[in-house]
Amino acid sequence: MGKITHFVHQSLDGFIEGPNGEFDWPRMDEELSAHAQALTESADVFLYGRVVWDMMSGFWPRAEELSTHPHDLAFAPVWREAPKVVVSSTLTEADWNTRVINTDVIEQLTALKDSGTHLLLFGGSTLAGFLTEHQLIDEYQIFVHPVVLGGGKPVFTTPQQRLDLTLAESRTFDSQVVLLRHERIS
């Protein structure tokens, strides 16, 4: 059986981007970068909503031109080669080994999971909330960064229901980022 893991960076006050859309605050030290690399290597498919897809596809194909950070340089070729799925009601096609799903989202992602596929959902509060509401996310790896943004986009825009989870792991990285890994209770 496959699974969906939600991988997201958030501020201490629960936002995935600042009030003006800024995402310049995550601290990717060597230790956290190694963990993120191991997590991405464990996945069969990278999963995105359209907004995060736009950000990722605007950066990773040209990351070596835009950054000298070791994490970026190591992840860029992995990103370009990895199979990807984008869930979008507006996008019809995408480059970089990417499949677009715009209908029957629950059914198509459930079929991927049932086939044994491990999907890694990168950020995205709308898609994360939608998949949480439909109980498709099996594991949450939330990286809490030592910053208060004072507003912005919350980690989840939905669901409007309670969901009980179990803490499977917590860990503090050298950068003072704290991983909270929770699993859905079946």
For 62-73, what is each residue's pLDDT tens digit?
Answer: 999 999 999 999
**How do residues 72-114 score in pLDDT, each as one tens digit?**
999 999 999 999 999 999 999 999 999 999 999 999 999 999 9
Residue 104, by phi and psi: left (phi above 0), alpha (psi -120 to 50) or beta?
left
> In terms of Cα–Cα distance, which of 41, 48, 11 is closest to 26?
11
**Among 4, 12, 28, residue whose Cα is nearest residue 150:** 12
For residue 63, the tally of other CB atoms under 10 A from its CB is 19
pLDDT tier for residue 162 given thresholds of 50, 70 and 90: confident
The token pair at 79 is: 């990103």
